[in-house]
Amino acid sequence: MRYPIAIEPGDATHAFGVVIPDLPGCFSAGDTLDEAIDNACEAAELWLTTVFEDGGDIPRARSFTEHHANPEFAGWIWAVISIDVAALTPKNTGRTA
| Domain limits, the chain | 2-90
For the stretch 5-46, pLDDT in tens is: 999 998 889 999 999 999 999 999 999 999 999 999 999 999
Query: What pLDDT was estimated at residue 97?
Result: 45
Dist CA 73 CA 82 (whole Å): 21
Q: At the topology level of CATH, where does 2-90 sit?
A: Double Stranded RNA Binding Domain (3.30.160)
Q: HSE (CB half, 13 Å, CA atoms) of 67? A: 21
Please determine, for residue 73, whether its predicted confidence score (pLDDT) is greater than 70: yes
